[in-house]
Structure 1
Amino acid sequence: MPRTDVPRPAEPTRIGVTGHRVLPAAVLPPVREGMRKLLSGAGMEALTSLAAGADQLFADIALDEGVPVTAVIPGMDHEAHLGDESDRASYRRLLGACRRRVDLPAEPTHEEAYYAAGQWIVDHADRLVAVWDGRPARGHGGTGDVVAYARRTGVPVTVLWQPGVRRT
């Protein structure tokens, strides 16, 4: 007969991220500080697609804090859409350090693939961190769309940004 008095281990608190690819220098200090605060403590897991910009910064901070990272890979040639070679090298480095990898099914366009990854992250997160200037997405599946999806589905969103700073 199984013992019922033995406590089950608590599920980790899963924190997902969405954010802009290009982050102005003025937002980096408050974004880093906010990410560190959210990722401090035991029993955390970070969910990220490892895209250039906010996602890679989030993964780096999570790993520095000893938080396991799950890479959510959009269903497309993700690495080819990461920007320059330094972004791709950072992606490969971070992917190698992730505890878990989730490969999503192929999507017809890279915009749909990014949005599907954002939805997966929201659907599996207890909280979403948005490195976001509050403006609408520039293309389908952008940060504003993922934030709207999280809010519609009731996932709490923490926005990290420096007031008055606009992305380029």
Structure 2
Amino acid sequence: MATVAVTGHVRISAGSLAPIRQAVDSVLARYPADALVGLSCLAEGADALFAAAVLAAGGRLEVVLPSADYRARMVAPHYAGEFDLLCGAASAVKVMPYRQASTAAYAAANRVLLARAQLLVAVWDGLPGGRGGTADTVAAARTAGLPVEIVWPPGASRPEPPGRRTPGRRAPEAARPRRFSPPAGRARP
């Protein structure tokens, strides 16, 4: 059996999905379909892309959900149908013993993935992220001696998160901070 887990970005630009999928397919093609087990938490983005690739390769998908409320609380409406299809196609679904999704629940689910895997596929741009994110999972895998395959083809990108700007670009006029001007005759505090 070849057990391969995934970690990766939730937000991936639309133009990057096909090259990332090709790279994931290439990694999975190293294993015979009847011996391939893919482990995923089924987050939107990299997890879902990987899960679909495992199934398309003829492998077995096993899902580790971080919490009992994961689908209701964390799965966006536009992703719910795909989540349900992937979850329904899984040969096993383990729900971690957390009632609510949290950083602790995600960390526990990632520990299960890393403990069972023989390889971690990281759909990752190599940049640090938030606590418990892809970078932390990759670091934990490396510390544990688990091989990590980074998948981030040339030209792959992530969309800017809402509210952030690309360095060097000016915010629209309405979003620019305004200087405080005290009423005439009053000094600035």
* TM-score, normalised with respect to structure 1: 0.85
- Report what 1:154 is aligned to: 145
Return the offset for 1:28.
Answer: 2.0
C-alpha separation between the residues in 2 aligned to 1:102 and 1:151? Answer: 24
Structure 1 spans left out of the alignment, 5+ residues: 1-11
Return the offset for 1:83.
Answer: 4.4
Q: RMSD across aligned C-alpha pairs, in angstroms?
A: 1.8
- Report what 1:122 is aligned to: 114
The answer to whether residue 9 in structure 2 is matched with residue 17 in structure 1 is no
Amino acid at match of 1:47: L
Q: Of 73, 77, 85, which aligns to 1:93? A: 85
Quick check: 2:40–2:64 contact (8 Å CA) kept in 1?
Answer: yes
Report SS of the residue matched to 2:64.
Answer: strand
C-alpha separation between the residues in 2 aligned to 1:95 and 1:28? Answer: 20
C-alpha separation between the residues in 1 aligned to 2:42 and 2:135? Answer: 18
- Report what 1:35 is aligned to: 24
Report SS of the residue matched to 2:44.
Answer: coil
Aligned residues: 156
Amino acid at match of 2:115: D
Amino acid at match of 1:104: M
The answer to whether residue 128 in structure 2 is matched with residue 136 in structure 1 is yes
Return the offset for 1:25.
Answer: 2.9
Q: Of 64, 67, 75, which aligns to 2:59? A: 67
CA 1:108–1:29: 2 relative to 1, 3 Å: closer
In terms of Rg, which structure is larger?
2
**Deviations 1:81-103, CA, capped at 9 Å, x for gaps:** 43421212211111100011112
Return the offset for 1:21.
Answer: 0.5
* TM-score, normalised with respect to structure 2: 0.76
Structure 2 spans left out of the alignment, 5+ residues: 161-189
- Report what 2:38 is aligned to: 46
Quick check: 1:76–1:113 contact (8 Å CA) kept in 2?
Answer: no
User: Once superposed, which parts of structure 1, at least 4 consecutive aligned residues long, lie more than 6 Å away?
Assistant: none
